[in-house]
């Protein structure tokens, strides 16, 4: 019996403004556009029609709604955002490749020697051949760029306007230099304002052993409202600067195993202090107040403190587990998030009593003279989260994708996938999703037969993380199996689906 009564109502937070509804056409289908602080598009599908049976399909949840692809010259390595103009500054570099000018010159020379035009076609194209399209049939984007010797590098620095996707400045690095690190910095000297620091290496090789000719730190000045770069000077260093970060009006640089603090000079950067006690190679630097969080290539995180009165850097805590870091991000005063090259994401936190003791030491004498075991730091951080993603994570970032929503950790992997880690705010949600995950492990095992918990604990036991991908497979179960799981959770299948949608709407 059809009564017209609405059931299973869903709500979605769009912002603080009063929403407005409009009817639009998306891909030839009618939809409803909701406008508030953030837009939302809803589609309908009438599945009840008298006298006939209507079939319909539900599109994939992960289907791309909108994206903009911007072609670059080389492989992008890192980028920063101009703090005032909101422009992107991207460093690109490739090994074993020719520069754009060398490629064009070599291509033109080859075509002239073969008696062909610049588009790769013979002369009969000019004698009546109908060129259906003007695309280059031998384009490098389709067939790949020509390869050079392995010790040759090409690199450039690009200033990009994300609103118009226009490149406002493009600087090619010369003399076989490649850029590996970048940051914006405001020195105590306010003459130049916001400057750009870029760490480069010349002639870097990885085989048969790692070697390089020289390392440099370039300092650039922004001109024309941040749209153009001008080189002020570059400073030669004894290692490869893989990490740069602003710190209290100065520049922190990770040069091999050395953490060094620089100030701005007229012709070069000036050394102020350094710490040489890091085990391998510094790959990331994060700062908060007077604390410095250093990521080592093989030994996870090191917590440091800077004493301005003594002008010295101290290491007061490190990790107990060796980690080959591929990405890191600062969460709060005591917590860091990291990812290793084996596909694990983890969080470490300094114990609260140790943190209070460090902050209550006004002179830093205890940090300076206290030593740990096996050449380690006197204090150790605790691992509070551990999870195996299954792919190498290349970036971590804390962000809020909806206005008024909570922050989550966004990660990207080397295979191109994006994911999010969302923290629960109530114990009820933790209990509900923990039991749902447990039932999904039992009732919906993987096709290959591998145990789900063993997979998520491939290298370290999974700790305090619920697999949202597994819980999202609940709607794909047969209806009788959905009712069975819902009865054990004292819920209805509709309530479980609504709970999953609420968590999803907190992220996107």
Place of tokens 């076609």: 121
Read off the pLDDT of residues 201-221 as tens digits, 9 standing for 90 and up.
999 998 888 899 999 999 999
Tokens found for residue 384: 């509070």
116-120, 160-164, 189-193, 345-349: which has the highest mean pLDDT? 345-349
What mean pLDDT is predicted for residues 117-128? 50
CA distances from 395 to 184, 287, 456 (A): 19, 18, 20
Residue ranges per structural domain of the chain:
13-48, 76-115+144-391, 424-505
Read off the pLDDT of residues 325-341 as tens digits, 9 standing for 90 and up.
999 999 999 999 999 99
Q: 351: pLDDT confidence band, cut at 50, 70 and 90?
A: very high
| Dihedrals phi, psi of 480, to nearest 5 degrees | -65, -35
Closest CA to 302 of 311, 313, 312, 310: 313
| Dihedrals phi, psi of 126, to nearest 5 degrees | -80, -15
Secondary structure of 234-297 in HEC code, one letter for each residue: EEEECCCEEEEEEECCEEEEEECCEEEEEEECCCCEEEEEEECCCCCCEEEEEEECCEEEEEEC
Find the range with the poorest average confidence among 2-16, 151-165, 177-191, 256-270: 2-16
Q: How high is the pLDDT of residue 121?
A: 56
Read off the pLDDT of residues 64-103 as tens digits, 9 standing for 90 and up.
556 788 989 899 999 999 999 899 999 999 998 888 788 8
Q: Is the predicted pLDDT of residue 466 greater than 50, yes or no?
A: yes
Q: Which CATH class is domain 76-115+144-391?
A: mainly beta
- What is the rounded CA–CA span in Å between residue 469 and residue 458? 17
What mean pLDDT is predicted for residues 391-404? 89
Q: Is the predicted pLDDT of residue 36 greater than 80, yes or no?
A: yes
Q: Is the predicted pLDDT of residue 156 greater than 60, yes or no?
A: yes
Closest CA to 367 of 355, 351, 384: 355
C-alpha gyration radius of the chain: 28
DSSP character string of 8-36: S-------SSPPEEEEEEETTEEEEEEES
Find the range with the poorest average confidence among 20-29, 48-57, 242-251: 48-57
Q: How high is the pLDDT of residue 53?
A: 45
pTM for the model stands at 0.85
Q: 57: pLDDT confidence band, cut at 50, 70 and 90?
A: very low
Helix H or strand E segment including 369: helix 365-369
Quick one: fold of 424-505? DNA polymerase; domain 1 (1.10.150)
Closest CA to 305 of 224, 220, 368: 368
Closest CA to 386 of 440, 486, 464: 464
Q: Which residues contact 84 (CB under 8 A, 6 or more apart)?
A: 194, 226
Place of tokens 């073969």: 114
What sign for the dihedral angle of Cα 231, 237, 239, 245? negative
Q: What percent of the chain has pLDDT over 90?
A: 60
């Amino acid at each position: 019996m059809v009564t017209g009564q609405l059931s299973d109502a869903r709500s979605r937070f769009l912002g603080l403004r009063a929403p407005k509804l409009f009817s639009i056409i998306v891909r030839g289908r009618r939809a409803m556009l909701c406008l508030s602080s953030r837009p939302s598009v809803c589609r309908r599908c009438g599945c009840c029609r008298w006298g006939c049976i209507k079939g319909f399909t539900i599109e994939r949840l992960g289907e791309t709604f909108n994206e903009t692809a911007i072609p670059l010259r080389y492989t992008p390595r890192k980028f920063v955002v101009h703090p005032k103009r909101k422009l992107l500054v991207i460093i690109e570099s490739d090994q074993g490749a020719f520069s754009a000018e060398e490629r064009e010159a070599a291509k033109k020379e080859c075509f002239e020697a073969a008696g062909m035009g610049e588009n790769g076609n013979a002369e009969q194209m000019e004698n009546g051949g109908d060129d259906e399209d003007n695309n280059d049939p031998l384009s490098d984007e389709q067939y790949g760029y020509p390869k050079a010797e392995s010790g040759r590098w090409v690199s450039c620095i690009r200033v990009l306007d994300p609103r118009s996707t226009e490149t406002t400045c493009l600087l090619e690095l010369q003399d076989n230099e490649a850029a590996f690190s970048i940051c914006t910095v405001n020195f105590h000297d306010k003459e130049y304002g916001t400057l750009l620091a870029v760490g480069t290496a010349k002639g870097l090789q990885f085989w048969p052993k790692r070697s390089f000719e020289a390392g440099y730190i370039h300092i650039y000045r922004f001109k024309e409202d941040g749209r153009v770069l001008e080189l002020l000077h570059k400073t030669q260093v004894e290692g490869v600067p893989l990490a740069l970060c602003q710190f209290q009006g100065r520049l922190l640089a990770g040069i091999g195993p050395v953490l060094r603090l620089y100030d701005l000079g007229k012709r070069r950067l000036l050394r102020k202090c350094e710490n040489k006690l890091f085990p391998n190679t510094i790959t990331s630097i994060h700062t908060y107040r007077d604390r410095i969080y250093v990521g080592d290539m093989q030994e996870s995180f090191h917590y440091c403190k800077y004493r301005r009165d003594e002008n010295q850097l101290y290491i007061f805590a490190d990790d107990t587990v060796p980690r080959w870091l591929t990405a890191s991000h600062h969460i709060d005063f005591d917590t860091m998030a990291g990812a290793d090259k084996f596909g694990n994401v983890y969080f470490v936190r300094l114990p609260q009593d140790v943190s209070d003791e460090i902050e209550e030491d006004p002179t830093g004498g205890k940090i300076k003279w206290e030593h740990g075991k096996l050449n380690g730091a006197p204090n150790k951080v605790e691992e509070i989260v551990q999870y195996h993603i299954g792919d190498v994570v290349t970036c971590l970032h804390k962000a809020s994708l909806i206005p008024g929503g909570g922050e989550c950790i966004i990660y990207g992997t080397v295979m191109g996938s994006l994911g999010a880690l969302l923290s629960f705010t109530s114990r009820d949600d933790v209990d509900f999703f923990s039991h749902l995950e447990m039932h999904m492990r039992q009732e919906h095992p993987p096709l290959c037969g591998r145990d789900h918990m063993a997979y998520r604990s491939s290298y370290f036991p999974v700790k305090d993380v619920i697999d949202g991908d597994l819980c999202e497979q609940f709607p794909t179960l047969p209806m009788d199996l959905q009712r069975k799981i819902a009865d054990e959770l004292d819920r209805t299948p509709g309530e479980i689906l609504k709970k999953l949608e609420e968590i999803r709407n907190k992220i996107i």
